[in-house]
Amino acid sequence: MSFSVTIPAANIVSANAALQAAGWGPNNFSVPLWTNGALPSIAVLTHIGNDPGFRAACVALPGAVVRDFGFLAPSLPATAIAVSGRWGSNAPLLQGQVTPGLYRAVPADGRGLWMVIQAFNRAVFANPLADIPALVRKAKEPGAVEPWVQPLDQFDAYFTVNAFTGQPDRVTHNGRLWRSIVANVANVWPPGNAGIWADEGPAP
Amino acid sequence: MTRPAPSPFDGFRLLGRRGGAPSLSAQVQAALLGTPDFVLDMSDRLTMWLESTKVTQVSVAADPVGALRTKWNNAPFDLGQGTAASRPAWNGVNAIAGDNVDKMMAPPASLLQNVPVFFWSEVVKPASLAADNPIISFSDGVSATAPRFRLMVLATGAVQFSAARLDGEATSTLTTAAGLVAAGVQSVVSAQADYAGGGDYRIWVDGVLRANGTMAGVAGNTSNTPSLRQWFMSSLLSGGARTEFNGLVGRAVGAFTIPDATKRALFEAWVAETAL
């Protein structure tokens, strides 16, 4: 039978390492789910086949919740509903009346994922999304390289060790690609600050 | 152990095999004889293993597929998936299933390196058209998102084929009319790119030519570099987003020569021989 497994996003690096060490390959948890913040709070894996050994290995992971489904049943939507979360591909477009949760910006707003903090009508609050931080925050997609947006606090900051990928966050800014290098603190400074960001050359 | 006594019908049985029409499989094998090819047969469980290390062959429906081996003629290629959660599942009959989340397999990176032409035909049955359904995708050797050969069913039900010859060259893209492929319905999707010839590239859906054109760039083999990303049932799209096939994919024939119409029809008949 198919199954899904959810773990706290903070556990993803250790969970993937444990599964890999047990012979199940790298990066089994690869899908981020957002619940109520700019950073994904839950990591998910979905398995559509019958693999009792792998399922048992997942059950043993700290914080893991295993949900069973029928063969080939689409388990990710049901899992997202069960944890009151959304993932990037099923986030609705950020237009019209919106309520708290993850949304995709329309092309005119530059696409990307945004977390709505409180209900509002986009037709009424038509400012650029970055200008209405009390209503909506830029969501951080693990591993994605996107234009830098000024973080307000640690909840939408950049990190030198991303909790989801275990790798440094990268952004584009002023035509350059930047990698976060500041240690042990949430990175809320703009690229260009020495010791905070490393310049990796022209933006792709 | 005692050998059973010969039956008086044995001779007729043998004659019947000799004199009857060869099976579709035998015809495809014969048609590909002597040419490089790439044949996937999910109705042959002996070509699929649970693990990427090919220890145990699949045996029942819902078995995960960690390795898939091409068959016939040439030295076989392996398509592998080392990550347990990303393995497609065998349907127990003739196809493997993806879920539009992360199920995919990786063919060798060198497969479309320095090749003059490539042809691909596959039977597919998307479970949903809510998102794009990639069938096979080889990037170029410089950019993971620039396709050397990418075939996918779009969310509109159109089939899209993107191709480029040399690394860094502009990508050429053909898109058929919408609605040719439907969710829950089996379709045979074929495409070919004549990189070294006149640059002709085209798409057939269920045996009917649906789009064709001429690729941009200078005629010649594809770049002599391994693909940075080569995925079966998955693709990286421009911008870096990844998408996976949602539903069943079955038999496929890949060839490094351009089949004539008769051979193409034979390949398409074989991939669709049994309903998904």
Beta strands in chain B (DSSP E): 37-40, 48-49, 67-69, 78-80, 89-90, 96-99, 117-126, 133-139, 147-153, 159-163, 172-175, 187-194, 200-205, 208-214, 230-232, 234-236, 242-244, 246-255
pLDDT at B239: 61
Q: Could you read off the pLDDT of A45-84 as tens digits, one per residue?
A: 999 988 999 999 999 999 999 999 987 777 899 999 999 9
How large is the average pLDDT for residues A118-125?
A: 95
**A146 has a chain B CB within 8 A of its CB:** no
Instruction: Residue B84: list chain A partners with CB under 8 A.
Output: 19, 24-25, 28, 47, 51, 54
On whether any CB of chain B is under 8 Å from the CB of A70, the answer is no
Task: Give me chain B's average pLDDT, please.
Answer: 90
Kindly report, residue by residue over B58-102, the tens digit of the pLDDT.
999 999 999 999 998 677 889 999 999 999 999 999 999 999 889
| Nearest beta carbon to residue A25 from set B83, B91, B243 | B83
Angstrom distances, CA of residue A38 to CA of A32, A81, A121, A177 = 12, 18, 20, 22
Q: Chain B contacts of A28, Cβ < 8 Å?
A: 83-86
B99/A1 CB distance under 8 A = no
- Position A95 pLDDT exceeds 90: yes
Element (H, E) at A68: strand A65-69
CB contact (8 A) between residue A24 and residue B84: yes
What count of Cα atoms within 13 Å lies in the side-chain half-sphere of residue A80? 20
Q: What is the ipTM of this complex?
A: 0.79
Type and span of the H or E element at A200: strand A197-202
Q: Is A152 on the interface with B (CB under 8 A)?
A: no
pTM over 0.90: no
| Nearest residue of B to residue A57, measured between CA atoms | B84
pLDDT mean over A27-38: 90
Q: How many CB atoms lie within 10 A of CB A128?
A: 8
pLDDT at position B19: 53
CA geometry: angle B205, B207, B210, nearest 5 deg: 45
B8 pLDDT higher than 80: no
